[in-house]
Amino acid sequence: MDQPSINLAILGLQWGDEGKGKVVDLLSPRFRQVVRFQGGNNAGHTVVVGGQSIALHQVPSGALHPDCFLVVGNGVVLNLEVLQQELDRLKARGFDLAGRLLLSEKAHLILPHHIALDLWREVRADKLGTKIGTTGRGIGPAYEMKASRMGVRLGDLRHPGSLADRIRQGYEEVRLRLGEAEGLPSLQAIVDGALRTAQPFLPFIGDAQTHLQTAWQRGESILFEGAQATLLDIDHGTYPFVTSSNCSLGGLFTGTGLPPKALDKVLGIAKAYTTRVGAGPFPAELLDATGARLREAGREFGTTTGRPRRCGWFDAPITAHACRTNGVDGLAIMKLDVLDGLEEVGMVVGYRTGEGGLTTQLPSCAADWAGLKPEIRRFKGWDSTRGFTDPRDLPGTARAYLEALAEAVGVPIAYLSTGPDRTEGCVYPGTFLASLLG
């Protein structure tokens, strides 16, 4: 390999859906290994190539580059049925992953009773007014089973004779909660289904930790692809309105078994505005026509569930919090073109507290968010940034907005996306990304 090796993490800095898929896809040709380390098929990464868009849920976004080896780390929870559909769709488009996919034997399975529990719980929570608005993919229960030591790992699929015993305790606990209703399949049906779906994957299951350690020692470049984002992190997000994994940097190390010194740089991904799906605090939310316009222009509907996303201005304090949590070296600002044509563009630069003070600190308790009012700085809008490839050519008002954004967040911009296609975007000269891609 001629280019120096680099191990890079790509992490979401808001509430997910920042456009990480596009960045991973863009950078993948520079990397030999592309790794997912947390989350499951709650994620949905849309990659657009030559006008065709492909939605990926569990397969790393490097799938579209034949020289990338794809690793699903131990921190991921996997639904094999969905993975099979994903591989079939990729194959139909000419992307065959045979021989370049490794699934950690320590990754946990998402099973039908996890999904049933997730859905059952959300219906009950709705009545109690505590609904999170999960993706309904069984993510929370799968991680719960892992933490309570009732989980089923991919490696367990190699032992068909003891699989029922492995699944039984978790299954029985779910059955006790749900009762006989809700169409919960029998234990035997779940075991048979798991063994059947696992069959084609057995050659892909292996020791991902050693694979990555070896790749690192050999100096192969590794790209770590985060799913969801810091504000959805179970510890550092807007708890309890979060997902059940560590989407921020710590999850990379526990989710792969690599040490911190294996990582060189962190690229943080944020949209030029903010969105979130599901319930929870969102001070920058626009409930008016501008919010609706962002939703339409940005096609802000979930890749996984199709739900309309809540939309609002860029929120500098949450993004700065995410940058601090992850030690972000450079920002990738996505979808700037969605703000094109607005007369005025807003940015949340702080929150007014009940007492009238101004803070940029995020409360750690969900109840404390309610009293905060966003402090909005307004910028003059611009006509068009669509398809721009050089930041120096951008309209002056767009440049002023981006400069203020980088200053408020405290991290320089390394990449700017100006449209959905791979070709629509600017790499900022003088940044680590420019030398990486240069």
The smaller minimum CB distance to ligand IMP, of residues 221 and 243, is found at 243
Residue with Cβ nearer ligand IMP (300 or 424) = 300
Among 157, 232, 323, 348, binds ligand IMP (CB under 6 A): 232
Q: What is the DSSP letter of 257?
A: -
Phi, psi at residue 55, to the nearest 5°? -95, 125
- Under a CB-based contact definition with an 8 Å cutoff, are residues 306 and 338 in contact? no
Dist. CA 209–CA 196, nearest whole Å = 26
Among 33, 135, 248, 256, binds ligand IMP (CB under 6 A): 135
> Quick check: is 45 catalytic?
yes
Catalytic annotation, pick one of 45, 57, 113, 114 = 45
Shortest distance, position 320 Cβ to ligand IMP, whole Å: 20
Q: How many CB atoms within 10 Å of residue 139? A: 25
Of the residues 17, 25, 118, 233, which is catalytic?
17
In the set 9, 13, 23, 43, which binds ligand IMP (CB under 6 A)?
Answer: 43
In the chain, the amino acid numbered 49 is V
Q: Which is nearer to ligand IMP, 7 or 246 (CB)?
A: 246
Active site annotation includes 25 = no
133 binds ligand IMP (CB under 6 A): yes
Contact yes or no for 397/384 (Cβ under 8 A): no
Applying the rule CB under 6 A, the residues between 290 and 349 that interact with ligand IMP are none
Q: Which of 277, 294, 402, 408 binds ligand IMP (CB under 6 A)?
A: 277
CB-based contact 24:283 (threshold 8 Å): no
Q: Name which of 201, 171, 193 is nearest 184 in CA terms.
A: 171
Residue 137 near ligand IMP by CB under 6 A: yes
Long-range contacts of 87-92 (CB under 8 A, 24+ apart): 87/59, 89/54, 90/54, 90/59, 90/63
Rule CB under 6 A: say whether 139 interacts with ligand IMP. yes
Q: Which residue is nearest to ligand IMP (CB)?
A: 278
With respect to ligand IMP, which residue has the nearer C-beta, 55 or 292?
55
- DSSP labels for 286-348? --SHHHHHHHHHTT-B-TTT-PBPEEE-EEHHHHHHHHHHHT-SEEEEE-GGGGTT-SEEEEE
Give which of 185, 145, 181, 144 is closest to 166, Cα–Cα. 145
Q: Which is nearer to ligand IMP, 268 or 350 (CB)?
A: 268
Work out whether 228 is an interface residue with ligand IMP (CB under 6 A): yes
Instruction: Provide the binding-site residues for ligand IMP, judged by CB under 6 A.
Output: 15-17, 42-44, 132-135, 137, 139-140, 227-228, 232, 241, 243-244, 277-278
Active site members: 17, 45
